[in-house]
Structure 1
């Protein structure tokens, strides 16, 4: 991906017209060491992990090529951007894997003391259902 594909005409024109430098706009990576964009102003060819997941994709083992920086409650936040054209389809769990997951979730709801399956997960801090923890078996 070329540097020209990462530039924003809007932000470049804003800087040229007003002389104002947008804080987190650095498509060449000279200021932050990595191509950087402000919140909601990244090129369409790049996407975060969440955006890829929403499209049924994953980064496919590739490293991020850029980042988004923004401030939130006096903290600097960061989100990494991946190339959409290199993204691969998400893996789908097999029926056997889904069956194992279902059994594991049932085991998390089964009390080790009374053996009842509850409609909530057994708290790991006490190790039994809430009825057994209160002292009685129901």
Structure 2
């Protein structure tokens, strides 16, 4: 088990503005969850502010995972017909091969991989 850094241990929130714990020392997952964990439970933050955070260090610098109260989370909104329609409309707006009318073509060639001149038909040099 990795050793937790005391650098991020700030349960009062004096250093980071909100209560902060190092990776592996966070508050109870039954009471607090990240947005991804809420989604897995069929919930969403529902407009509540970030209440806690988990911090750790990577090569790119400090990283933070924001935590929300599970009891204040709201159920996820169901997909309505209008939302599905907007997703289908956005999907259709992607580039379509003018020759074969296939789904989404690479910008590099301007045609799909199956068309003459496409990546799939390029002769090996």
Per-residue deviation, 1:74: 5.6
Q: How does 1:1-138 map to 2 (within 5 A)?
A: 22-44=6-28, 45-73=31-59, 75-108=61-94, 110-111=96-97, 113-118=98-103, 121-124=104-107, 126-132=109-115, 134=117
Conservation of the 8 A alpha-carbon contact between 1:28 and 1:35: yes
Point out 4+ residue stretches in structure 1 off by more than 6 angstroms: none
1:14 maps to which residue? none
Determine if contact 1:126/1:133 at 8 Å carries over to the other structure. no
Measured after TM superposition, the shift of residue 103 of structure 1 is 5.0
Could you tell me how far apart the structure 2 residues matched to 1:54 and 1:32 are? 28
Q: Which runs of 5+ in 2 are unaligned?
A: 119-125
CA RMSD across the alignment: 2.6
Unmatched 5+ residue regions in structure 1?
1-20
TM-score, length-normalised on structure 1?
Answer: 0.66
Q: What is the number of residues matched between the two proteins?
A: 112
- Structure number with the higher helix fraction is 1
